[in-house]
Amino acid sequence: MGKQRERNAIPSSDRFPHGKNNDDSSKQRFAIRLAYDGTTYNGFQSQPDKNTIQDQIENRLQSLLRRPVRIVAWGRTDTGVHAKGAVVTVDLSLDEVYRFANKKTGRVSSSISCKEEGDESAKKQTAVNATAKFLHSVLIQFACNHPLPQSRTPASQSRYGSISALAVKPVPLDFDARYSCLWKRYVYYVCATSSNNEVNGYTDDDQTLSPFVWNRYAWIIRQSLDLDKMTRAAELLSSIEHNVEWFVVMQQGEKRDTLRKVKLCVEQVNTSYGSGGDAPYFLQQSGNTTVYKITVESDFFLYKMVRRIVGILVAIGKNDASLDELRVCLEEHDKRYHDVDPITNQKKIKVPTTLLQTAPAKGLCLDHIEYEIPI
């Protein structure tokens, strides 16, 4: 942990290109929207001797730019969490911009038009746009099929194509992937199976097993869920601002506000393919398997907040906890948040352990981050 803290405390000199003229006018920032399968990575954030999304991206850019590179991210995701809307930024010098603008690849052939020689502003903009296209072509689909230098992660645990740049756009230097964010959206998939021979919610019927693709991207539950109760629980959680301190994982020294408002939606996913219901082989499932999509939006998320919300919804859907228990927990902790009386604050209600389970990381995906500038 000491190494990680030391690395994160390093002055961000690697974030900016090195050179004699290193003022703002000599740099250009690019925002990259990423999608990745997090199954085989140790989360997003760089770690010593680990295989992370950030390390893979920086390693790729470093080999391209031939200098140390530090990207700046919207935040981070845990091991096993996926994304299709993650955003990072990287800064290039104008020399690098012009160099890449004139590179010829299989996808991009960018050169500065002679007619624009007299217009430096137009020339720069043309080069910036061409460089964005070039970076996109380089990052459009990759993942090293070998471990990073000094990584302890076996080569077989990295898969080609598991990281992809969906878009690369030039942005102003004051754009910050984290602090310019307006709100975020996560989606979580739950795959529930049931059987006519179901006993106490569980069955050994092999026909109820989910298709293998859901084992990678969803929480598999060998029990049917009550969609109506889950929907009502989602309404309780998202109707107003709530003090979420009682169910999120609070990190030591956490000073961020625990009063949060979320927008929640629980829906059943139609996995049929075409009018005949002929799903692709990797999605085929028996009629007693149901996939649920849980969507969570907020301007700010605390640690494991989404996975704990999903845990609450599933507990309600399985009848392991009741809507009344959830309502009491929300009301009492909301009162404690607003009540400054220390005597009252000492009186805490007991939260049922069934409302404190953390959903597995594999079902979670960072779906979208909203900015004033579309990325």
Per-residue pLDDT tens digits of the chain, which is 375 residues long: 233 333 333 344 455 555 444 566 789 999 999 999 999 899 999 988 778 999 999 998 998 999 999 999 999 999 999 999 999 999 999 999 998 888 744 344 444 444 445 577 888 888 999 999 989 988 887 655 445 555 555 544 455 568 999 999 999 999 999 999 999 999 999 999 876 554 444 444 444 455 677 888 999 998 999 999 999 999 999 988 999 889 988 776 667 788 899 999 999 987 766 555 566 767 766 667 889 999 999 998 998 999 999 999 999 999 999 999 999 999 988 887 766 555 555 566 788 999 999 999 999 999 999 999 999
The pLDDT, as a whole number, for residue 250 is 77
Q: Where are the beta strands (DSSP E) in 178-315?
A: 183-193, 219-221, 242-243, 259-260, 263-269, 289-298
Topology match between the domains 2-171 and 183-370: yes
* 2-171 is a CATH 3.30.70.580 domain: yes
Number of H helices, E strands in the chain: 9, 11
Domain locations in the chain?
A: 2-171, 183-370
The length of the chain is: 375
Rounded to the nearest angstrom, the gap between the alpha carbon of residue 175 and the centroid of all alpha carbons in its chain is 19
Q: Is the distance from CB of 330 to CB of 236 less than 8 angstroms?
A: yes
The amino acid at 296? V
pLDDT value at position 110? 41
State the pLDDT at residue 308. Answer: 96
Cα dist. 353→57, 247, 333, 350 in Å? 39, 10, 16, 9
> pTM, whole model, 2 decimals?
0.82
pLDDT of residue 195: 61
Q: How confident is the model at residue 249, as a pLDDT?
A: 83
> b/e string for 170-182 if b means 16 or more Cβ within 10 A?
bbeeebebeebbe
CATH level 2 (architecture), domain 183-370: 2-Layer Sandwich (3.30)
138 CB neighbour count, 10 Å cutoff: 20
**Which helix (H) or strand (E) is 73 found in, with range?**
strand 72-73
